[in-house]
Amino acid sequence: MWSGAGARPEFAPRSYGKLGRKVQRLAAALAVVCIALASAANPVSAAERTIKVVAFGDSLTAGYQLPASAAFPAQLQQTLKAKGLAVEIANAGISGDTSSGGLARVDWSVPEGTDAVILELGANDMLRGVDPKVTRAALEQIVRRLKARRIEVLLCGMLAAPNFGPDYAREFNAIYPDLAAANDLLLYPFFLDGIVNSPKFNQGDGLHPTAEGIARIVTGILPKVEALLARVRAKPLT
Q: Are 109 and 54 in contact (CB under 8 A)?
A: yes
Pairing of strands 116-120, 51-57: parallel
Starting at the edge strand found earlier in the chain, the sheet holding 152-156 runs 87-93, 51-57, 116-120, 152-156, 186-188
Catalytic residue selected from 58, 99, 125, 208? 208
Pick from 115, 144, 145: which is nearest to 55 by CA? Answer: 115
Q: Would residue 95 show up in a list of annotated catalytic residues for this protein?
A: no
Q: Would residue 107 show up in a list of annotated catalytic residues for this protein?
A: no
Q: Are 115 and 77 in contact (CB under 8 A)?
A: no
Q: Residues 79-84: contacts with CB within 8 Å, 24+ apart?
A: 79/218, 79/222, 80/222, 80/225, 80/226, 80/229
Pairing of strands 116-120, 152-156: parallel
Catalytic residue selected from 58, 59, 97, 125? 59
Pick from 120, 107, 132, 87: which is nearest to 188 by CA? Answer: 120
Q: Would residue 59 show up in a list of annotated catalytic residues for this protein?
A: yes
- Please tell me the distance from the alpha carbon of residue 235 to that of residue 154, in angstroms, as a whole number: 16
Backbone angles phi, psi at 153, to 5 degrees: -130, 135
Q: Which residues are catalytic?
A: 59, 205, 208
